[in-house]
């Protein structure tokens, strides 16, 4: 039963992701901050619903697994706002690699390898599956901010060019979604939710 | 773009599941109540980690989809404690069927059919995939309560026989997990977290 105990320890450790809070607000729950566990659920389902828009075939099961686990490292490393400065983001990346080793390392060796490699694939964004997963991870905060009068963009004075850059994965991957995102960004600038720069 | 707009409306509607609170407590976040969105993330990943214990082969992708969507009906129907009385549970079931029609009905027809059927399959628990998904949906609250000195069992004076019955799916489906659950239940009775009846 040793392997089962390792797996159950990992499953219980996952509970801590429910206490890691992000910049996005939950409009439906009195605009409190969103945590990374509920965010992970939301984007995994979003990927499932939208995967038909991918220009190249994605393996949706793999994409879903990537999105379920992509934020687990935040249990140790904390969440960092996507539009933080480059130095802070690079330091965050180092912390996340150590966190992945410790957290996925709670699992039996074979599952550790599977999860750690899947997480690294997501981070490196070199495969179609990983790039699609990353694209979905960017489009959902955009949808949330659009329904929340700019949400975290307004609070952090985010520029149009930053959001364009962050969603650029979509351009080749899912042209219909990219078109939609561009229209939304233009509207957000008109409304003063994004800085026109 | 009409289909895309329907899908995006559904994705935004999903946000509301983050405001539906359950009886389980989140030990890692000051023992606040858990919401159904973060719960859905946790059990989807739990199913992935434990599916090797299934005696018959489960289609883990289908199981994951079931678990991602199984609580969406609570956006309209609210959450009901698993050990509520039979009359209340039957009334809840009627409300959930109406909720599934409305909520999945936001999606384009083809996705509506897929999601609604998958949700019904989970509810009816007649297939191996659905029974495994249900089993996981029961084992996680048990793990949470065990790490929380009985948690919601203590507050609601739950009996051993109720927890045995609720986890009985595991007996044939995943004997190793069933053995583990029986040991945990015995320990919970010893500690006075479950009523010995």
Q: What percent of chain B has pLDDT over 70?
A: 100
Q: What is the pLDDT of residues B107-127, one digit of tens each?
A: 999 999 999 999 999 999 999
Secondary structure (3-state) at B184? helix
Q: What is the pLDDT of residues B167-184, one digit of tens each?
A: 888 998 999 999 999 999
CB atoms within 10 A of CB A86: 7
Secondary structure (3-state) at B53? helix
Long-range pairs for B120-123 at CB < 8 Å and ≥24 separation?
Answer: B121/B66, B122/B66, B122/B69, B122/B70, B123/B93, B123/B96
pLDDT of residue A152: 86
Of A1, A29, A176, the CB nearest to B19: A29
Burial of B169 (0-12, 13-18, 19+ CB in 10 A): buried
Domain ranges of chain A: 2-190
Contacts of B4 in chain A (CB under 8 A): 53, 176-177, 180
Q: Tokens 């042209």 appear where?
A: A175
**Cβ-contact B24, B144 below 8 angstroms:** yes
**Cβ-contact B116, B66 below 8 angstroms:** no
- Residues in chain A, pLDDT under 70: none
Local confidence band at B24 (pLDDT 50, 70, 90 cut-offs)? confident
Query: Is there a contact between B14 and A45 if contact means CB atoms under 8 Å apart?
Result: yes
Of B8, B18, B41, the CB nearest to A28: B18
Q: What is the pLDDT of residues B55-90, one digit of tens each?
A: 999 999 999 999 999 999 999 998 887 777 888 888
- Provide the token pair at A102: 């410790």
Secondary structure (3-state) at B140? helix
Query: Is there a contact between B45 and A69 if contact means CB atoms under 8 Å apart?
Result: yes
- Provide the token pair at B15: 């946000």
Name the CATH topology of A2-190. Answer: Hypothetical protein af1432 (1.10.3210)
Cα separation of B22 and A30, whole Å?
Answer: 17
Average of per-residue pLDDT across B137-148: 89
Interface of B with A in 97-156 (CB under 8 A): 107, 111, 140, 143-144, 147
Q: Name B110's Cβ contacts closer than 8 Å, sequence gap at least 6.
A: none
Output the pTM of the full model: 0.92
pLDDT of residue A63: 97
Local confidence band at B23 (pLDDT 50, 70, 90 cut-offs)? confident
């Amino acid at each position: 039963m040793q392997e089962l105990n390792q797996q159950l320890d990992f499953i219980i450790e996952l509970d801590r992701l429910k206490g890691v809070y992000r910049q996005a607000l939950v409009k439906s729950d009195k605009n409190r901050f969103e945590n990374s566990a509920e965010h992970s659920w939301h984007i995994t389902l979003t990927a499932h619903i939208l995967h038909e828009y991918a220009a190249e075939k994605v393996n949706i099961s793999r994409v879903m697994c990537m999105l379920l686990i992509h934020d687990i490292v935040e249990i140790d490393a904390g969440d960092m706002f996507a539009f933080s400065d480059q130095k802070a983001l690079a330091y965050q990346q180092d912390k996340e690699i150590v966190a992945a080793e410790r957290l996925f390392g709670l699992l039996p060796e074979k599952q550790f390898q599977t999860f750690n490699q899947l997480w690294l694939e997501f981070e490196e964004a070199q495969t179609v599956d990983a790039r699609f997963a990353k694209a979905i991870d960017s489009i959902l905060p955009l949808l949330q901010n659009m329904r929340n009068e700019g949400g975290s963009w307004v609070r952090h004075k985010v520029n149009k060019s930053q959001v364009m850059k962050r969603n650029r994965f979509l351009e080749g991957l899912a042209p219909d979604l990219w078109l939609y995102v561009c229209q939304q960004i233009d509207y957000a600038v008109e409304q003063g939710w994004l800085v026109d720069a």
